[in-house]
Amino acid sequence: KLRSLFFGTLCMLMLGVSFTSCSDDDDDSKKNDEGSKVELPENRVYILNEGSYQKNNAGITYYDPDKRNNVIDDIFYKQNEAKLGDTGQDMIKYNNNIYVSICMALNMYAN
């Protein structure tokens, strides 16, 4: 009976340890918005809008999860005064930068 109690306690301890984790996303530093034309709060959500083929209308919409500014349509155009491209494929954050994969249409048969 003592062996069973010891084994059960050991299993519960191992289960508790398995739910413990470390996180590297607790960076308290402020985001660098120097030179930005749009004032944004600390918490941000960006949504990639694919756009239509050969229309150059892909875009990035900003959403405020804290409901301060709610939604800013095509924030990429507002910040850069340039269109994003033809068809937005994917968006990824890497080393505090956001990279967007864009499929550019080439009209090979134009006159």
Burial group, residue 91, by CB count within 10 angstroms (0-12, 13-18, 19+): middle
Indicate the SS3 state at residue 37: coil
Residue 72 is encoded by which pair of tokens? Answer: 């800013």
Report the distance separating Cα 11 and Cα 7, nearest Å.
Answer: 6
Query: pLDDT tens, 15-51?
Result: 776 665 555 555 555 566 677 777 777 778 888 888 8
- Tell me which of 18 and 14 has the higher pLDDT: 14
| Residue-range domain boundaries for the chain | 41-111
Are 37 and 27 in contact by the 8 Å Cβ rule? The answer is no
pTM above 0.75, yes or no: no
Query: pLDDT tens, 57-107?
Result: 888 888 888 776 678 888 888 888 888 887 888 888 888 788 888 876 555
At residue 39's C-alpha, the angle toward residues 77 and 27, to 5°, is: 110
Residue 70 is encoded by which pair of tokens? Answer: 């709610």
Nearest to 64 by CA among 82, 78, 86, 47: 47
